[in-house]
Chains A and B, each alone.
Chain A
């Protein structure tokens, strides 16, 4: 799509064994792009109480691949598009249905998981890919995927510049925001679309099971460490980015040999323990 070799050669200078290998450069670049996005959106997910939403979108990944294979579309195209569709559908149903939002999500969640499993059970050749979706594999990111990720990052940056304040307003109280002429619906749909796409890309990185962790854990750390809403944004990014890089570095060590996604989440959980201690000691000082 466009030339990213200069970015990869930049990544090759990172002081880590094996960075001369192409897949390592691609993995590092993918993580450096993905980590700030999941962190910042995670802060908003916490504020908006949308953890279940992102979980449901993540679990639609497998159905997305299955639908892609049925229709003859490449999984790396069908999966994000399917996730986007699921995210927007949930948002739409939440707005226009009298049901509580977690009930709506629960129904969609069941539908996509069952749909994915139904297709898999019909055709065993797809089942081989199942493990990749459960655990993720950042090392399989292709250059084309990275180009899409860079475009998504640009959209993410634009959204955070324009919509951070209105989204915070709307998350604080939808009624006040609407009364004060904030375009709440537009903000929410854009947020849902962006979140769905980022979740789908994250499924490749850490797998379906850990997607929500990638969103929630850095935000939870930041909540403990930050003093302001702006500070929470930066703390989450710091935690997420450092966990991603450290997780990648650790996972490729011969003595570790663990899955990259799981290692990243473990590092961020260690961050969380530290943040709990910091927050507890701060409370003591206050008393």
Chain B
């Protein structure tokens, strides 16, 4: 792995004002190289704006330093794509348009096709190579967008709410995929997420944003009752979820590695609901 000690991203007094409204106010944050950073916060907290500032899409005051001033190759995965769904446009072409110089109306070159297939393999979606982009489901589209970003061989992967529009299981699989890719490709990753359970499980660096940075650091240090109280203004807490460990079927030996972590963070209401459902199943 890299031994470069300079942080991947430094936000230095970043402020964004739009129509006289402070959207971001003096944001200071540092994201170490190789980390999985997650921006959390309520709606309107400026999470997406901060990502857009990072991408250079909105004007901001202050300084954003990437890779110690040298800049980083960025791969960007948006929340969704506003695409004409009936448009004839295959997944192979979608990936090849960034790979090959030859215009697509002269066909996809063999090397571009191979690279596209390899990228799809990396995101476990080889089967959708020939499909039209417009016919993909939310989860499939997300993988294709991730493949497009990976084609950049990113040093920094930027994701805007990747679990929006994907069901719980799909979101979990996607996060595991990202975990694997980050380990093998060694990129730094920054994302916006509303899924606090996911954050507690995967993130190495959490930034709590509410126009300004409320707290930042490792999840166990940041995801505390008082921080979440001030961030979301409602009662949430870490729950020692011993009673909800999803045990493997009785025939297989119990594997604590495969089970969900002991500390998983969810709104109380959701936990109550899940407990009730589990009880129903046991009865």
Is A165's CB under 8 angstroms from B158's CB?
A: no
Nearest CB of chain A from residue B153's CB, rounded to whole Å? 11
A233 to B76, CA, bound (A): 28
B253, CB-defined interface residue at 8 Å: no
Residue among B56, B84, B98, B108 making CB contact with A178, cutoff 8 Å = B56
Nearest CB of chain A from residue B191's CB, rounded to whole Å? 14
Residue among A46, A175, A227 making CB contact with B78, cutoff 8 Å = A175
Which of the segments A80-88, A123-131, A166-174, A199-207 contacts the partner chain?
A166-174
Which chain A positions have C-beta within 8 A of B74?
179-180
B57, CB-defined interface residue at 8 Å: yes
Nearest CB of chain A from residue B38's CB, rounded to whole Å? 19
Known: A165-B97, A178-B57, A179-B75. A173 touches B104 (CB 8 A): no
Is B76's CB under 8 angstroms from A164's CB?
A: no
A226 to B101, CA, bound (A): 22
Nearest CB of chain B from residue A241's CB, rounded to whole Å? 15
A229, CB-defined interface residue at 8 Å: yes
A15, CB-defined interface residue at 8 Å: no
Within 8 A of A (CB), among B46-90: 52, 55-57, 73-76, 78, 81-84, 86-90
Is B90's CB under 8 angstroms from A227's CB?
A: yes
Interface string of A215-239 (1 = CB under 8 A from B): 0000000110011111111100000
Is A179's CB under 8 angstroms from B103's CB?
A: no
A142 to B135, CA, bound (A): 48
Which chain A positions have C-beta within 8 A of B75?
179-180
A160, CB-defined interface residue at 8 Å: yes
A151, CB-defined interface residue at 8 Å: no
Residue among B84, B105, B108, B148 making CB contact with A234, cutoff 8 Å = B105
A175 to B77, CA, bound (A): 10
Residue among A161, A176, A226, A232 making CB contact with B103, cutoff 8 Å = A161
Is A165's CB under 8 angstroms from B55's CB?
A: no
Which chain B positions have C-beta within 8 A of A160?
103, 105
B155, CB-defined interface residue at 8 Å: no
B152, CB-defined interface residue at 8 Å: yes
Which chain B positions have C-beta within 8 A of A176?
76, 78, 145, 148-149
Nearest CB of chain B from residue A98's CB, rounded to whole Å? 9
Residue among B56, B73, B96, B105 making CB contact with A233, cutoff 8 Å = B105
A95, CB-defined interface residue at 8 Å: no
Which chain B positions have C-beta within 8 A of A230?
93, 104-108
Is B57's CB under 8 angstroms from A175's CB?
A: yes
Least CB separation from A175: chain B residue: B57
Which chain A positions have C-beta within 8 A of B81?
172-173
Which chain A positions have C-beta within 8 A of B104?
164-165, 168, 228-230, 233
Which chain A positions have C-beta within 8 A of B89?
228-229
B100, CB-defined interface residue at 8 Å: yes
Nearest CB of chain B from residue A270's CB, rounded to whole Å? 21
Is B88's CB under 8 angstroms from A165's CB?
A: no
Is B90's CB under 8 angstroms from A175's CB?
A: no
Least CB separation from B92: chain A residue: A228
A47, CB-defined interface residue at 8 Å: yes
Is B105's CB under 8 angstroms from A164's CB?
A: yes
Least CB separation from A166: chain B residue: B97
A168 to B95, CA, bound (A): 11
A230 to B89, CA, bound (A): 8
Which chain A positions have C-beta within 8 A of B145?
176
Which chain B positions have C-beta within 8 A of A181?
73, 152
* New A-B contacts (11) at CB < 8 Å, excluding given A179-B76, A229-B104: A47-B84, A47-B87, A166-B97, A168-B104, A176-B149, A179-B75, A180-B76, A180-B151, A180-B152, A228-B89, A230-B105
| Contact surface of A with B, Cβ cutoff 8 Å | 46-47, 160-162, 164-166, 168-169, 172-173, 175-176, 178-182, 222-223, 226-234
Offer 17 A-B interface pairs, CB within 8 angstroms, sorted by A. A165-B96, A165-B97, A172-B81, A172-B94, A175-B76, A176-B148, A180-B76, A180-B148, A227-B88, A227-B90, A228-B88, A228-B93, A228-B104, A230-B107, A231-B88, A232-B88, A233-B105
